[in-house]
Amino acid sequence: MKKSKSAFTLLEILIVVSLMAVLLAAVEFFYSGTVFSSGDIEQKAVYVENDLNLYSQLSRQLFSFFKPRNENFLLTKDRLAFYTLYPVFYSGGVKAVYIFRREGNGKTEVIYQEFPYPDGKLDSNGTKKIVIGDFSNFEFQVLNGGNWTENFEGNFTGIARLFVDGKKFLITGKIE
């Protein structure tokens, strides 16, 4: 009986190595695509979280607002001020002030300030502040006499809307 020596030829080895290389390249392509897309999803989730945090804080504070004086609400293009029983820094009734600092790149930086008691001066700033975030396409309006406006002074009508990063939020507050 004759023993046969079988060995792989160079051509067979090259074919197997080529197939393995193609398989590994495909796996790497799909894996890296998944990793990069998950990073984009995480970044979008952070933006949505910031939008919802701003909406949530404004909703709670406007629903908890109170009227210590005749004028309890001031809204301009770059400022929102009112009295609320939903403070962030202090306890009790406070003056809440939102500063809308518009930047040249189309973004708006929203800064929240708080004064520890209702001082009757809605046009002044608070004593403690925090930057809430930078938002694109930012706009805040209230309903006044059937029309939406960015400038309002007086008693809060109870309905506002917030445009931020391409999303629209409706805010309903307490009406007295």
pTM for this entry: 0.72
| pLDDT, tens digit, 9 for 90 and up, residues 74-113 | 999 999 998 888 888 888 888 899 999 998 888 999 999 9
Low-confidence residues of the chain: pLDDT under 50: none
Question: What letter would DSSP give residue 4?
Answer: -
Contacts of 69 (CB under 8 A, 6+ apart): 118, 120
Q: How many helices (H) and strands (E) does the chain have?
A: 1, 10
Main-chain dihedrals φ then ψ at residue 60, nearest 5 degrees: -65, -40
Phi-psi region of 174 (alpha: psi -120 to 50; beta: other; left: phi over 0): beta
Helix, strand and coil percent figures for the chain, each rounded to 5:
30, 35, 35
User: What is the reported pLDDT for 3?
Assistant: 62
User: What is the reported pLDDT for 160?
Assistant: 92
Sign of CA dihedral 149, 153, 159, 161: positive
Query: Can you read off the two tokens belonging to residue 28?
Result: 């790497």
Task: Provide the β-strand partners of residue 133.
Answer: 110
User: What is the reported pLDDT for 44?
Assistant: 78
CB 118 within 8 A of CB 69: yes
User: What is the reported pLDDT for 155?
Assistant: 83
| pLDDT, tens digit, 9 for 90 and up, residues 108-120 | 999 999 988 777 6
Query: Can you read off the two tokens belonging to residue 70?
Result: 């005749």
